[in-house]
Copies of this chain bind each other. A is one copy, B any other.
Amino acid sequence: MLKRLAELRKSKKWSLQYIADRLGIAKSTYAGYESGYREPSLESIKKLADLLETSVDFLLERSDDPIFNPKEEKIKISHPLELTDVNSWVTTELTVDGKIMSLDELQQFIAFVRAKREIERKGI
C-alpha cells in the first residue's frame, strides 16, 4: 500500500484521473497503486517520483525525506549550532594539524574511509 502516493497527490490537490493521464495509465490502475490492490512497474514508480518530485525511496517508505536532490556528490561539514543548509557545500572547515583540508582532500578522505570500511567488512 503506497500511502505516500495519496499523501503527495492530495497535498498537490490532484485527482486520480489527473495523475493517471500524466502517466498514461487508467484511473483504476493508478487507484490500485494507492490502495495497495496493485503494484506499479518500476518504470511507473519512477515516473511517479518524477511527477511528484520526490525519490522512489520515499515513495517506498525507505526514506523519510520527501526531498529528492539528484545533484552530484555533495560534501558537507556542518556545525551543530549552525543552521544547516542542505545544498551548501561547506559550512565550516575541517583541519588536520591546524591546516584546513581542501575539497580535494576531503574527497580523498571519504574515499579512504569507505575503502577501509569495505575492506574491514569483507576481508582483504
Contact = CB atoms under 8 A, between A and B. Distances in A.
A122 B12 contact: yes
Contacts of A74: 73-76, 110
Interface string A2-36: 00000000001100000000000000000000000
Q: Counting chain B CB atoms within 10 Å of each CB, which of A56, A106, A108, A109 scores highest?
A: A56
Interface residues of A, number: 46
A interface SS class = loop
Interface of A: 12-13, 39-42, 45-46, 49, 55-57, 60, 62-65, 68, 70-80, 92, 94, 96-97, 99, 101, 105-106, 108-110, 112-114, 116-117, 122
